[in-house]
Structure 1
């Protein structure tokens, strides 16, 4: 069971519509297309590289927290939009995504996930199946789903929140794609039903939260349920050719935990990669965002 060590993975340099400009003092300064934002980032616990004046000059809007979960965006100019589009054109993938200033500080994309998008695209390109089946769980606004669809996959997108599934569908339409299967449901329930049906997938993507609730009040806590979830989804992988991507933002669940849980239920894999996804600023500071584990098998 060899492990491929790739401890740090960052966004592709060809992605022109995203840039981490700077980070520090609990914040990050990011450019998304023509809009530059300041958002809280507790892990950026070092001094800023750029001056406060430079941050002020560069940014278009700053998120100000009003509670532990919500806040508001303060714009420097009313002329800047609250919604806009960016492109992701890397390799054969050319998609468009809608971004928006939400009261939860999120804007519809986690840019560090572009490193996983590259892995998904490169895996699908290797497959002999002309229409590989891909399952995206806890799928949010669908960046990974859209990338997989752009690579010719038959995609099923599962999330428990109807509004973000609608957002994902808008991203599909913006990208000139169609026929992703949208499922508003608790991911765990869906996976268990797929097991009973005997369905198989060539690719499975999981980006579970630390905790959450399904549409009918189902409870999810990663540390209690990730073991069974990985056991279940491992049984959904097509034995001929497949990939699995697991990403987590959960404190206390690190790369060693990811490696253990994946290997426990996939003891024969030989190309497991685990490590951190990070954003590197124009000042060369590395900002670690999440942990990942992934592997694939192709003919």
Structure 2
């Protein structure tokens, strides 16, 4: 288990109750649904203190504001400046539990005495991309299927003063991209991936974790050269740390494979399960 405590004043997990989490993000107190949230509120009065909350079924609802709030705002994390934008899918553009992986990658890059190329797959709004670039990666390749998320990632890069660094952005289906990279002979020292349970590529290519994870890992293995690490995280409900370990072991004959639950710890010490992660340490 990797426990991620309150990160800084720009992100705090405040409290949990059955089905909901309460977070302070960039000074804004919000309530969002989360099926992994359990318990009762320590402070029931928090409901009257909310700045915004998500109302309705996930994917069909929206955020309702209780204060005069902008449509988006900023947070500062790990030397990155990231824009927060609440969406109809309850997401905000940030998964703070990923800090455990940002720190891991940063340490790997800073400890290397050789240039490090990083490939970030299912790259979302770019925090892992920017983190690797700021840590000193010689090149970071960012692959994300959705145009709006790629645009958001590039905006985050500018806000973090990383837009002058060697980051290349691709709007592409991950499997198709990996196959072309193999043909091109490109190699990487670090691969980061955050595959969803289900997704679609730009040409409506279907991604299903259970159907496609083996191909993803097999292709990724062919792109590693003088590798430092591979990092994976998933929020797929049917995948626990043991299942992820055995999946990684099939494709990487490494003894240094670690898989774990990712857990955010609230300021009141309650804990929220946030999926599973895994690292393969080659050096």
Task: Identify the TM-score tier after normalising by the shorter chain.
Answer: over 0.9
Normalized against structure 2, the TM-score is what?
Answer: 0.95
What is the rounded CA distance, in whole Å, between the counterparts of 2:3 and 2:159 in structure 1?
28
Aligned to 1:49: 42
Aligned to 1:63: 54
Does the residue aligned with 1:270 lie in a helix, a strand or coil? Answer: coil
CA RMSD of aligned residues (A): 1.4
The count of residues paired between Structure 1 and Structure 2 equals 280
- Which structure 1 segments of 5+ residues have no match? 1-6
Q: Determine if the alignment matches structure 1 residue 77 to structure 2 residue 52.
A: no
Aligned match for 2:210, one of 217, 223, 233: 223
| Structure 1 consecutive aligned stretches of length 4 or more whose deviation exceeds 2 Å | 13-16
Would the aligned equivalents of 1:258 and 1:293 in 2 still touch at CA under 8 Å?
yes
Q: Determine if the alignment matches structure 1 residue 282 to structure 2 residue 267.
A: yes
Which structure 2 residues correspond to residues 210-249 of structure 1 after superposition, within 5 A? 210-238=197-225, 240-249=226-235
Aligned to 1:3: none
Per-residue displacement from partner, 1:18-76 (whole Å, max 9, x unpaired)?
Answer: 1000011211000112111100111113222221x23322x2101102x4412121111
Aligned match for 1:97, one of 82, 89, 111: 82
Aligned to 1:140: 124
What is the rounded CA distance, in whole Å, between the counterparts of 2:60 and 2:94 in structure 1?
17
What is the rounded CA distance, in whole Å, between the counterparts of 2:160 and 2:30 in structure 1?
24
Aligned to 2:33: 40
What is the rounded CA distance, in whole Å, between the counterparts of 2:42 and 2:199 in structure 1?
36
Per-residue displacement from partner, 1:194-219 (whole Å, max 9, x unpaired)?
Answer: 11222110110110110111000100
Deviation at 1:16, TM superposition (A): 3.0
Per-residue displacement from partner, 1:67-109 (whole Å, max 9, x unpaired)?
Answer: 441212111112x2221111013xxxx1110111212211110
- Which structure 2 segments of 5+ residues have no match? none
Does the residue aligned with 2:247 lie in a helix, a strand or coil? Answer: helix
Using CA pairs below 8 Å that are at least 6 residues apart, which structure has the higher relative contact order? 1
What is the rounded CA distance, in whole Å, between the counterparts of 1:287 and 1:215 in structure 2?
33
Aligned to 2:173: 186
What is the rounded CA distance, in whole Å, between the counterparts of 1:161 and 1:225 in structure 2?
19
Per-residue displacement from partner, 1:133-168 (whole Å, max 9, x unpaired)?
Answer: 000000000110010011111100001000000000
Aligned to 2:21: 28
Normalized against structure 1, the TM-score is what?
Answer: 0.90
What is the rounded CA distance, in whole Å, between the counterparts of 1:232 and 1:257 in structure 2?
20
Per-residue displacement from partner, 1:217-274 (whole Å, max 9, x unpaired)?
Answer: 1000000110111111012111x2321001000011111121111111111x232121
Per-residue displacement from partner, 1:151-197 (whole Å, max 9, x unpaired)?
Answer: 11110000100000000000000000123100000001001111122
Deviation at 1:283, TM superposition (A): 1.3
